[in-house]
């Protein structure tokens, strides 16, 4: 019998990650390639799409070589990817500009212009399910029109990161609903591109990919790439999905009584829903899931593990076993320190691109581990902001994923801050695992949720301590007050 396996790829902000998964959901091999982010100006964030492609080739070569050694046949490849980031390509498929990333904050004026022309914030919510935010793709396209018009007019297609990689593998240009819904150009009611918004951007839908289901087959891998990677010519490439939606599928969060917390570069809290009604306050997002005909509400904080990595660079230290052990010794409240994790502005609940990180309460008695503790807690409070903003009830189970979930100290802290039980599951590969599920779904015709239910089980539970939760609740109030006190000043400081 043929030993079939699939590949799940994640086109992430910090790396390209790939996993090889068998028919039982077991991860057989992993590969990763680091990606360099560049910041030409304060608040800007860019990456070279060709770096993603080079990393993808290196990752796929490693996985393909392992498969050959083990007499395995890779039958399908699926991708997940960072949401919102813009890739502008010419007719030959070459990127015309660095990708402007999801965390880039340069497009405030463009987002305000789109909002005004569309008829205001309420109309934007009705159409896209979200306010028009700086992270989203629409503002980046208008920014190109205004600041790089030559590139704008040369652009053949505007793509998203994973769709660029799928194109490079197949020469086919498509996207799917989960990523399309994060562009601020997608109508959540009709599940199609919004002609109203495209008109404001001075483009039509011919400039954008066709939208398909996440478990749809894009095409087969090109002969050239198949030969280069030592893959079969009939290896299929599957549309895949946005990273957060794939991460949710990858830990079995596909129905409304479950929730996902992802502690990655950014932090997210996600709850599936069968509704297509936006949050009336616009504090949380409404996007399409990778599971057909399911949406999800999501709160996003922009700097979760990114906050820790930022401080690691400051102190030239990244020994996580030591960090976790020392943080665990420090009492709740970090001996009077607070950290506002707004290094790149903040989305939920503030929608404030001007917000900036703050360490508050420093004294000469504090050391670097007190600051680490404050960062852990500050990210926990940011996740609680998201959770509170979702206004969800009837949640049976919260599942956690992302690089930060490797720290038991941090997961227990988050459970105490939220006052909710949190579980870890058998799959630890995040979005790449969700992509692998979509690959297997396309190969077999089995629904993605059915595969995730079969492959994934709960392995560890973190129950909140009532006394700890009370202490955190007092400090959470101060955390919120600090932002409110500083909000006006954030808008006044010179960020040049």
Would you list which residues are annotated within the binding site for substrate?
83-84
* Residues belonging to the active site: 243
- For residue 167, give Cα distances in angstroms to 120, 250, 295: 35, 23, 26
For 467, the token pair is: 């006394």
Provide the H-helix boundaries in 148-259. 149-154, 161-170, 177-180, 195-200, 223-229, 243-250
Strand partners, 272: 296
Q: Return d(Cα 441, Cα 434) in angstroms, integer.
A: 10
Q: Which helix (H) or strand (E) holds 242?
A: strand 236-242
Q: Return d(Cα 479, Cα 343) in angstroms, integer.
A: 15
For 436, the token pair is: 């692998």
Contact 164, 240 (CB under 8 A): no
CB atoms within 10 A of CB 478: 13
Query: Which of these, 409, 406, 453, lies nearest to 430 by C-alpha position?
Result: 406
For 274, the token pair is: 């069968």
Strand partners, 343: 345
Q: By three-state DSSP, how is residue 151 classified?
A: helix
């Amino acid at each position: 019998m043929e030993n079939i396996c699939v590949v799940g790829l994640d086109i992430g902000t910090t790396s390209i990650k790939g996993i090889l998964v068998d028919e039982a959901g077991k991860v057989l091999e992993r590969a990763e390639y680091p990606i360099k982010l560049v910041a030409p100006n304060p608040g800007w964030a860019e990456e070279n799409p060709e770096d993603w492609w080079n990393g993808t080739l290196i990752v796929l070569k490693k996985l393909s070589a392992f498969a050959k050694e083990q007499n395995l046949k890779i039958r399908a490849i699926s991708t997940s990817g960072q949401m919102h980031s813009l890739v502008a390509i010419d007719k030959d498929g070459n990127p015309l500009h660095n990708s402007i990333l999801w965390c880039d904050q340069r497009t405030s004026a463009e987002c305000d212009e789109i909002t005004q022309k569309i008829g205001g914030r309420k109309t934007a919510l009705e159409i896209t399910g979200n306010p028009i935010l700086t992270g989203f793709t629409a503002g980046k396209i208008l920014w190109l029109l205004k600041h790089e018009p030559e590139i704008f007019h040369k652009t053949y297609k505007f793509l998203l990161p994973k769709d660029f990689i799928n194109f490079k593998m197949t020469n086919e240009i498509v996207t799917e609903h989960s990523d399309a819904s994060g562009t601020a150009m997608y109508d959540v009611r009709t599940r199609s591109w919004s002609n109203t918004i495209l008109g404001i951007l001075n483009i039509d839908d011919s400039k954008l990919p066709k939208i398909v289901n996440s478990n749809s087959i894009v095409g087969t891998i090109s002969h050239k790439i198949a030969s280069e990677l030592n893959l079969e010519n009939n290896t299929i490439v599957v549309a895949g999905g946005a990273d957060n939606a794939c991460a949710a599928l990858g830990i079995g969060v596909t129905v409304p009584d479950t929730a996902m917390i992802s502690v990655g570069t950014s932090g997210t809290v996600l709850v599936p829903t069968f509704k297509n009604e936006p949050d009336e306050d616009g504090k949380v997002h409404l996007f399409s899931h990778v599971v057909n005909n399911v949406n999800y509400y999501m709160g996003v904080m922009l700097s979760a593990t990114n906050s820790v990595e930022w401080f690691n660079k400051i102190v030239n230290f990244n020994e996580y076993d030591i960090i976790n052990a020392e943080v665990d010794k420090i009492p709740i409240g970090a001996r009077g320190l607070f950290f506002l994790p707004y290094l790149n502005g903040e989305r939920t609940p503030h929608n404030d691109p001007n917000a900036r990180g703050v360490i508050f309460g420093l004294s000469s008695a504090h050391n670097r581990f007190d600051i680490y503790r404050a960062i852990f807690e500050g990210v926990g409070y940011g996740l609680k902001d998201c959770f509170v903003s979702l206004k969800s009830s009837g949640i049976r189970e919260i599942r956690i994923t992302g690089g930060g979930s490797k720290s038991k100290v941090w997961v227990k802290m988050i459970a105490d801050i939220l006052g909710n039980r949190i579980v870890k599951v058998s799959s630890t590969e995040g979005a790449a695992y969700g992509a692998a599920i979509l690959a297997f779904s396309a190969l077999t015709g089995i629904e993605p949720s059915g595969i995730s239910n079969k492959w994934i089980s709960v392995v560890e539970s973190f129950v909140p301590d009532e006394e700890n939760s009370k202490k955190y609740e007092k400090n959470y109030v101060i955390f919120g007050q600090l932002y409110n006190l500083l909000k006006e000043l954030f808008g006044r400081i010179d960020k040049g």
